[in-house]
Chain A
């Protein structure tokens, strides 16, 4: 029986079914907290733990899904390219804002990890947590972090950002739509961007642009700082 679970079809089918259930639940409830990815991760983990299926068996199919992450990240270039006019017109405030945001994110995480006495592997896993998952995972991986912790922290941060965004805009008196969009994208990547799109078209486009720019800047900063 165990060797049947080691078929690539098992891991892929289980992932698709779990994700499908997650998407259904999100559509039904409409809550950001019911993120399909989180639901899928919980469901797949539960199946593996309950039926005592080793992670290695699941990962025969899982590795194939994982392979698509690199091309998916590369395609973020297409979404930045679609907004190139917006970027050309406002490149200075966007680049300055994204740089300050990325540095503040990495700096605050580093200081708090120090404060809480967390070890270097956990710190490396958390430092890139404000950028989009594929980039965060590559940064954490190349600096000795534990990538699953990065994945969970990134998604959690994204959900937080999308819940907090309207309140943060009020508290910090952000009137300009462009500023609001870049700020949301800088702190909560794609999950936040889905919220930014609800606030307005400019906010959405700017937030999407900030995902790519903050991603690249964070890679550069991590090369220098980590």
Chain B
């Protein structure tokens, strides 16, 4: 019964998230609405991690498995991919390096500014 209750809690949140998605005037993914709702419930104390621990561990630790059907549907898109596979590879490699650099340098800058201010405050 414990697991069924947990499934009930998480699926209810997902269903309410879908209702909210359909009401919102812009495209915002229901799964992310569900994530924000669940986070808010945990922070505000409406829900404890213990209430959903087993089910969420199951979903998080098997996350990769749930993507198999989405990935397999690539066989319907072979024609599109054939024409641009090289470009896709280049885009993935270059943008990964750029993303890493942008994150690392912006954080370095903020940390430096914060340390500078802290030191100033101490003087």
Chain B CB within 8 A of A203 CB: no
Contacts of B23 in A (CB 8 A): none
Question: Which A residues are CB-close (under 8 A) to B56?
Answer: 75, 78
Q: Which of A126-159 contact B (CB under 8 A)?
A: 126, 129-130, 133-135, 137-139, 141-143, 146-149, 151-153, 155-157
**Which residues in B have their C-beta under 8 angstroms from that of A116?**
84, 87, 90-91
With contacts A80-B39, A118-B87, A161-B96 taken as known, whether A68 is within 8 angstroms of B59 at the C-beta atoms is yes
The digit string for A93-129, where 1 denotes a CB below 8 A from any CB of B, is 1101111111111001100110010100110001001
Cα distance, A103 to B11, chains bound together (Å): 32
Note all chain B residues with C-beta closer than 8 A to A108. Answer: 94-95, 98-99
Partner among B35, B72, B107 whose Cβ is within 8 Å of the Cβ of A97:
B107
The reply to whether the CB of B80 lies closer than 8 angstroms to some CB of chain A is: yes
**Chain A residue at smallest Cβ distance from B27:** A142
- B104 smallest CB distance to A (angstroms): 4
Residues from chain A with Cβ under 8 Å of B87 in the complex: 112, 116, 118
User: A68–B60 contact, CB under 8 A?
Assistant: no
**Of the residues B10, B65, B105, B108, contact of A19 by C-beta under 8 Å:** B65
Chain A window 30-44, contacts with chain B (Cβ cutoff 8 Å), 1 for yes, 0 for no: 000001111011001
In the complex the two chains form, is A69's CB within 8 Å of B110's CB? no
B95 to chain A, nearest CB (A): 4
**A7, chain B: closest CB distance, angstroms:** 15
Interface positions, chain B 41-65, Cβ under 8 Å from A, are 42-43, 49, 52, 55-56, 59-60, 62-65
Evaluate whether A70 and B68 lie within 8 angstroms (CB atoms) in the complex, with A108-B94, A130-B95, A156-B92 already known: no
**Are the C-beta atoms of A126 and B91 separated by less than 8 Å?**
yes
Tell me how far the C-beta of A88 lies from the nearest C-beta in chain B, rounded to whole angstroms: 11
A101–B94 contact, CB under 8 A? no
Asked if B36 is at the interface of the complex by the 8 Å CB criterion, the answer is yes
Complex Cα distance A79/B38, Å?
11
Q: Knowing A98-B103, A105-B99 are in contact, say whether A15-B65 is a contact too (CB < 8 A).
A: yes
Q: Are B102 and A104 in contact (CB under 8 A)?
A: yes
A63 contacts across to B, CB distance below 8 A: 69
Q: Which residues of A contact B49 (CB under 8 A)?
A: 78, 81-82
Q: With A74-B10, A81-B49, A122-B80 in contact, is A164–B97 under 8 Å at CB? A: yes
> Chain B contacts of A35 at CB under 8 A?
64
Inside 8 A of A183's CB, which chain B residues have their CB? Answer: 100, 103-104, 107
Show 12 residue pairs from A and B whose CB-CB distance is below 8 angstroms, ordered by the A residue: A37-B67, A65-B68, A71-B10, A74-B10, A78-B52, A81-B43, A93-B107, A108-B95, A151-B70, A160-B93, A187-B100, A216-B32
Apart from A112-B90, A148-B73, 8 more pairs, CB < 8 Å? A15-B65, A70-B34, A74-B38, A76-B35, A104-B95, A112-B91, A121-B80, A148-B72
